Structure 1
């Protein structure tokens, strides 16, 4: 059995903000990510490779707050975070605050595979990326007019509370192994080197073959405080709950009690899949070996 799911962020979304053209483009980008990850699984590849490839595709699309579509910081830059985890070995890699790295998720994978560390922060993480010949892009590559206007609105006090989260993927491969990956551009107009949950193992990303793989998106501060991804695992591993019930408790009870908005995608070792969110919408999609699957926004 193989299963793959992806998300492109959750948060405050209005149908009126999405033109038919943009909505179609978002669905296509989610489909492209599913294609990239599922191709790995269908040919006997690992869940870890699948989630990396799916997230790379999402980072390369400009519609999501990660990679090319990352939001602007207060000083007009892009600072990106990413992490991934192997449910078989419990090895993990993560990077925080990196600039100009084309695919932060691949840098996180390289940290996991080629170093003795779990989490590297910039600028050392960028030095590590250069040492391993990873791709960098100029500032212009990450510039999108939509994100720039979001920054201007936020700085002028008109931005409201619009948050669009992150990107991520979870997978179960033919060998029964689980993996999760998450990548983000952080928060529009962020200051002081702020980091959210995406590079924090246990908060935004967690995978363990004993139970499940989880990737989160939403108000990062609340997901950190709730240790959200790990909590889903704990409710299953220690309390014996189903994936569905564990996700419901974390997203609709624990996070809501903290007034945290967002969602998560998760898959368990039996191939059950959950895509839970307490926000207006979450860009998401899934696929299994029966050929079933879909992409959705609201």
Structure 2
């Protein structure tokens, strides 16, 4: 016969179990590396594996921050910076070229805990645009900086500056040549400092059409319950006139709000995502008690009715990531304190 447990003992056991649960870090991270026409037939097994390994690396970078008790802001920056340095993605080193033969980089970050935000557009010499966006948020009185002034600010706060040729990849250059040739537009001179095409090794990346869909991003929940989002991109191939898309527009491609219970990073047709204020509207819907998956898909569908395709990743205080897309694929992944890392590419992957 089992001995009866006294009320004080039972209460102590309950409190001890609750304390143990509270001590367990609860965090979650989701990332994306762009959405578009990404089908199994368009990737070789080697290319598929390379993208999955790159996504896993970004998850590892962000989760290393979160497992040590770091902030959601630090985690999304760490994940995005790794993808900015990876030529597989259209951000940082590997960004697409403008019609003038330049790499012009955009990025944004937002802290859901206090709604502070920072963004940059048209960077050409700052190695990590996402770091520049965070510096705008934390070290300036502004929200958005652009062009040479944004690079000058980044340099003034100690962020690494590089020669513009640092961002050059043969894959993206040939993508520009193809796009301009098809459009009947002049092809600019090869950038100064770019390596000779004869010195370029075989690139693992496929010749995907990322004219509209190249972006990287991350959303996170940290063990303190704070949400954050970050997004970075090289924009559209052959863009002209200083074009800026949705990524650095707070509320369009990037948004986070603990009050609404969401963090969002988007990738897609920027002109349409701006008009639909996709990221902010997802948060507003979630704040009004719409289920996160429904909120994300409704916004993606609304952008599609305007003519814009793409995808979003969403994080909520529950730590369950949400993915929604209107394309055949989106490079993506997630990991949490309670779930192992997983990555996916194609729309029909669970």
TM range (shorter): over 0.9
User: Is the CA contact 1:9–1:282 (under 8 Å) kept in the aligned structure 2?
Assistant: yes
The correspondence for 1:220, drawn from 270, 291, 294, is 270
Q: CA deviation digits over 1:11-60, x for unaligned, max 9?
A: 12243332222221111111111011011111111101100111001101
> In the aligned structure 2, how far is the partner of 1:256 from the partner of 1:31?
29
Q: Is 2:188 the counterpart of 1:163?
A: no
1:45 aligns with 2:70: yes
Q: Deviations over 1:182-231 (max 9, x none)?
A: 00000000000000000000000000012100000010001000000000
- In the alignment, structure 1 residue 148 sits paired with structure 2 residue 173: yes
Q: Tell me, what secondary structure is at the counterpart of 1:266? A: strand
2:200 aligns with: none
Return the match for 1:16 from 29, 34, 41: 41
Runs of 4+ in 1 over 4 A off after TM superposition: 158-162
8 A contact 1:82–1:199 mirrored in 2: yes
1:133-158 residue CA offsets vs partner (Å, 9 max, x unmatched): 21122233211111111101111117
User: Does the 8 Å CA contact 2:332/2:343 hold for their aligned counterparts?
Assistant: yes
Alignment partner for residue 285 of structure 2, among 218, 235, 238? 235
Find out whether 1:284 has 2:309 as its counterpart: no
Report matched runs for 1:136-285 at 5 Å: 136-157=161-182, 162-210=211-259, 211-237=261-287, 239-252=288-301, 254-285=302-333
- Compute the RMSD of aligned alpha carbons: 1.4
Residue 162 (structure 1) shift: 4.8
Q: Is the 8 A contact 2:126 2:155 kept in 1?
A: no
TM-score of the superposed pair, with normalisation by structure 1: 0.96
Q: TM-score, normalised by structure 2?
A: 0.82
- Work out the number of aligned pairs and report it: 296
Aligned-partner Cα distance in 2 for 1:127–1:145: 27
| Contact 2:245 2:271 (C-alpha < 8 Å) held by counterparts | yes
In structure 2, the CA distance between the partners of 1:143 and 1:170, relative to structure 1 (3 Å rule), is same
